[in-house]
Amino acid sequence: MYHLRLPASPLRPFIESYWKVQTRPGESGVLHEQIYVDGQPDILFNFGCAYDRCGIPIPHGNVDGQRDYPVVIAQQGEINLIGVRFRPGGLAAFTRLPMHELANQVLDLRNGLEAGAAALEYHLYDAADFDQQASLLDRFFLSRLHSTESHQLTLHLARQIASGEANIQQVSAEAGYSIRTVDRLFRQHLGLTPRLYARIQRFQAALRLLSGAGERSFLQIALATGYYDQAHFTHDFSAFAGMTPTAFRQRFNMQQANPQSVQFIQD
């Protein structure tokens, strides 16, 4: 039901993966997933029944901008979704829209992808299989790839923040820009402020530890990922996951016990 493909090599700094979730012809399926905050935009091509996003039915494909809040995706019936999973700041390499205009937005494909979106959607629907669909996506994005010097600089600074090697003040000083200028670059290319991006990356690091082997205490995870204390960790985790660390651990353990469950656009 769930399939994953890597994009062509030149696209991998910007696109993490292509994915597909599909029921067999004539069969009905159920999809219900909590999507956590990760600062990564997505493109969805929906060729099945309408899916529900936080109580709002969406019958068509869309560009789902980077979010600062979790969402719930639910679909029941014919499921045929194809997704493009961008890295933080990756979508900016394929559109001239400033990323801050996409933040927390769900846009029609034709608005988010501009020229060629309708033709791409048509050819994806008509393709024989997912391999052919992945090739179509490669050709589309390769033809639109344009990463500017300021975009590359922003991605470099974002990687430093994500690795924990430097804080916002340090990356600004290294780039030779003021904090205000770096803030503008992040909003332009990532759609997030550097401070919010750093918070999201810290949450993602904690999420990986919670999802890993062993039963580390919440305090251990909090201190290992740079939170002041357990209360600070619980506050941020609940805001970005839509559930407490305790509820997440219980849910994760249930999913591990049921390997048939679908992991939908999750790291």
CATH number of the domain residue 24 falls in: 2.60.120
Same domain assignment for residues 126 and 167: no
The pLDDT tens digits for 180-217 are 999 999 999 999 999 999 999 999 999 999 988 678 89
Residues 135 and 234 in one domain: no
Q: Is 77 part of a structural domain of the chain?
A: yes
Residue 67 CB coordination number (10 Å): 24
DSSP secondary structure letters along 211-266:
HSSS---HHHHHHHTT-SSHHHHHHHHHHHHSS-HHHHHHHHHHHHH-TTS---S-
Res 17: pLDDT = 97
Domain membership of residue 99 as a residue range: 2-142
State the chain's mean pLDDT as an integer.
90
Name the CA radius of gyration of the chain, rounded.
19
Among 142, 163, 180, residue at a domain's last position = 142
Write down the residue that tokens 């394929």 correspond to. Answer: 94
Tell me how far apart the alpha carbons of residues 50 and 60 are, in angstroms, rounded to a whole number.
7
Domain membership flag for residue 119: yes
Residue 23, token pair as written in the block:
């029921």
User: Is-contact 1 21, C-beta < 8 A?
Assistant: yes
Shared-domain flag, residues 130 and 180: no
What is the pLDDT, as a whole number, of residue 146?
94
At 160, give phi and psi (nearest 5°).
-65, -45
Identify the CA nearest to 99 among candidates 176, 154, 178.
154
Do 57 and 133 lie in one domain? The reply is: yes
Q: In this structure, is residue 263 part of a structural domain?
A: no
Q: How many domains does the chain have?
A: 2
Same domain, 63 and 133: yes
Query: Mutual orientation of helices 245-257 and 230-241 as an angle, nearest 10°?
Result: 60
What's the rounded Cα separation, in Å, for the pair 254 and 245? 14
pLDDT above 70 (res 112):
no
Query: Which pLDDT score is estimated for 263?
Result: 45
φ, ψ dihedrals at 105, nearest 5°? -115, 150
pLDDT tens-digit readout, 50-62: 889 888 888 888 9
Average pLDDT in the 225-248 region?
A: 95
Domain-ending residue, one of 142, 168, 186: 142
Q: Which pLDDT does position 25 carry in this prediction?
A: 76
Whether 18 and 122 map to the same domain: the answer is: yes
Q: Given pLDDT bands bounded at 50, 70 and 90, which one contains residue 266?
A: very low
- Tell me: the pLDDT tens digits for 143-163? 999 999 999 999 999 999 998
Task: Report d(CA 103, CA 214) in Å as an integer.
Answer: 35
Q: Grade residue 259 by pLDDT with cuts at 50, 70 and 90.
A: low
The answer to pTM > 0.75 is: yes
Q: In this model, does residue 265 exceed pLDDT 50?
A: no
Q: Could you tell me if residue 123 is inside a domain?
A: yes
- Boundary-marking domain end, from 142, 169, 198: 142
Beta carbons within 8 Å of 101's beta carbon, 6+ residues apart: 191
pLDDT tens across 64-107, in order?
A: 999 999 999 898 899 999 999 999 999 999 998 899 999 999 98
Does residue 207 contact residue 241 with C-beta atoms inside 8 Å? yes
pLDDT band at 176 (very low <50, low <70, confident <90, very high): very high
Is 89 within 8 Å of 190 (Cβ atoms)?
yes
Same domain, 23 and 126: yes
Q: Is the pLDDT of residue 126 over 90?
A: yes
CA–CA gap between residue 257 and residue 244 (Å, rounded) = 20
Residues in Cβ contact with 134 at an 8 Å cutoff, skipping those fewer than 6 apart: 5, 7, 18
**C-alpha separations of 92 from 36, 117, 145, 204 in Å:** 21, 16, 9, 22
